[in-house]
Structure 1
Amino acid sequence: MKSVVAIRHVDFEDLGIFEPILEEFGYRIRYLDPGLLGPDALEALDVDSPELMVVLGAPIGANDEALYPFLGAELDAIRHRLESGKPLLGICLGAQLIARAMGGRVFPMPEMEVGFSDLYLTREGLEGPLHHIGNPDVVLHWHGDMFETPPGATRLAYSHPCSHQAFAVGEQVLGLQFHLEVDPARIEPWLIGHAAELAAAEVDPVELREQAQRHGASLRERGQRVLREWLKNAEAAHAID
């Protein structure tokens, strides 16, 4: 059975709507929680063995290893995975860490981008799996930092507040600043877990809940289509059975 290791930093920021697609493709899912297990768990992780590695989001910064020491070990694990050439998916913080590992910058935006709003695809983005999103169409944004598309990667998407929203390296690496994985039907833990962050950014949780209900079915369908095509391409490129 194929395996995927998902590095998870906050319990409710999981694989979401991606989980059933991974199971459909025959993956056994394993979560690794460095916030609970510490840097040693990342240092002991065999990043070469899993057919797929996913690095998920968190309400901390990609440059915060002085505050959260496990991030240094996580960056090392990502660099090793990149060297292996095997499929790697990063979401929000995960994409920022991949960008850093590849030599790109991660820096604060003038203000947070939180909520359901439009994403625009570049020409290259339209030619790959992200074309299922639409151009433009609504996705869930939830970040205060932005990555710079790293050297050797291709910029795939942007929004008006954030000029770098997605990048790819061939078929094997995909970084998404936005949260395509979130199940809108399970938005409540996000509203509770990020209550202080939402209040500081003056974002109304009632409005976010209403947006999730309005866009939920479409986002689930489009997000799963993106993952299916990306997995198919990544597996074909790397002969994963």
Structure 2
Amino acid sequence: MTSSTHALPKTIYAIQHLAFEDLGILEDTFYDLGYRIRYFEAGMDDLKQAFEFEGLVIILGGPIGVYETEDYPFLNDEIAYLKQRLAKNLPTIGICLGAQLIAHALGAKVYAGHQKEIGWSQLKLNLAQNNPLLPLVNTEVLHWHGDTFDLPVQAELLASSAIYTNQAFRVGQNILALQFHVEVAADDMEKWLIGHTCELRKAGLNIPHLRAENEKFAVNLELKSPLVLEHFIKHLNV
């Protein structure tokens, strides 16, 4: 049985791992649908309340690795809470690091990839579904990661890229993991270019080129991103 948007609590919980990696364009979508947003800061706030929330929780991205628990001990609690949440099949979306945390919590391996994937490119979508969850055909999305993951055994693969096979998966109707950034707002990119300057320079990436790609592709993604969110919420089992 699917739900309407009225079946969910009217607050969305979002867990941040980096201040400028927020819900981006999805904030406007939630507001338009009548939801409020509450942010939790990983490493600072007690995440137990967030992960026990019966409404929708979105786990956002960040520059640390799932496996860096010695340097960032809060990850141990975050992963433990997430395992409990997924076992209850509570509505959960993971983006980038959030997707990796979901994969890890479901028993899959998360590890450093063979190369950085930073920039805009199209996805190879699994269109076998009657109602595709990702209406992103011929749409460039933003990739910004160095780690990747194996597909959890209980998951359905939704999308791949030219560099990494596992770019999106879902488990049932309530759990969605997106390695790429569907949330990025066109006018937020400068914060990313500033905040990630060390990573970009170490990887030898061309910052003016990334800025130009954002100007070319982000506006179109902003049109498609709300459709992903609306489809997910519409088909939740709650």
1:24 to 32, 38, 42: 32
What residue in structure 2 maps to residue 208 of structure 1?
Answer: 210
1:4-15 alignment to 2 at 5 Å?
4-15=12-23
**1:29 Cα deviation after fit:** 0.8
What residue in structure 1 maps to residue 4 of structure 2?
Answer: none
Q: Secondary structure at the match of 2:43?
A: helix
**1:165 Cα deviation after fit:** 0.2
In the alignment, the residues of structure 2 paired with residue 21 and residue 170 of structure 1 have an alpha-carbon distance, to the nearest angstrom, of 23
1:72-151 alignment to 2 at 5 Å?
72-124=76-128, 127-130=131-134, 132-134=135-137, 136-151=138-153
In the alignment, the residues of structure 2 paired with residue 59 and residue 173 of structure 1 have an alpha-carbon distance, to the nearest angstrom, of 22
In the alignment, the residues of structure 2 paired with residue 170 and residue 26 of structure 1 have an alpha-carbon distance, to the nearest angstrom, of 25
In the alignment, the residues of structure 2 paired with residue 217 and residue 193 of structure 1 have an alpha-carbon distance, to the nearest angstrom, of 21
Q: Secondary structure at the match of 1:4?
A: strand
**1:128 Cα deviation after fit:** 2.3
* Residues 12-71 of structure 1, C-alpha deviations (whole Å, 9 max, x = no match): 10000111111222222110002333xxx12x4253334101100001111111110111
Change (3 A) 1:200 1:9: same
Structure 2: give runs of 5+ residues left out of the alignment: 1-8
Percent of aligned positions that are identical? 40
1:148-167 alignment to 2 at 5 Å?
148-167=150-169
Change (3 A) 1:137 1:126: farther
1:65 to 69, 91, 95: 69
In the alignment, the residues of structure 2 paired with residue 162 and residue 175 of structure 1 have an alpha-carbon distance, to the nearest angstrom, of 14
Contact kept? 2:160, 2:166, Cα under 8 Å = yes
Contact kept? 1:124, 1:155, Cα under 8 Å = no
Query: In angstroms, what is the RMSD of aligned CA positions?
Result: 1.5
Structure 1: give runs of 5+ residues left out of the alignment: none
Q: Secondary structure at the match of 1:103?
A: coil
Change (3 A) 1:160 1:151: same
* Alignment TM-score, normalising by the size of structure 1: 0.91
Report how many residues are paired.
230
In the alignment, the residues of structure 1 paired with residue 51 and residue 211 of structure 2 have an alpha-carbon distance, to the nearest angstrom, of 37
Tell me the amino acid that sits aligned with residue 77 of structure 2.
A
Tell me the amino acid that sits aligned with residue 206 of structure 1.
P
In the alignment, the residues of structure 1 paired with residue 57 and residue 50 of structure 2 have an alpha-carbon distance, to the nearest angstrom, of 11
Q: Secondary structure at the match of 2:120?
A: strand
What residue in structure 1 maps to residue 43 of structure 2?
Answer: 35
What residue in structure 2 maps to residue 193 of structure 1?
Answer: 195
Change (3 A) 1:124 1:93: farther
What residue in structure 1 maps to residue 183 of structure 2?
Answer: 181
**1:144 Cα deviation after fit:** 0.3
In the alignment, the residues of structure 1 paired with residue 128 and residue 172 of structure 2 have an alpha-carbon distance, to the nearest angstrom, of 11
* Residues 146-174 of structure 1, C-alpha deviations (whole Å, 9 max, x = no match): 11111211011101110100000111000
* Residues 104-140 of structure 1, C-alpha deviations (whole Å, 9 max, x = no match): 111111110000112111234674220x110x43110
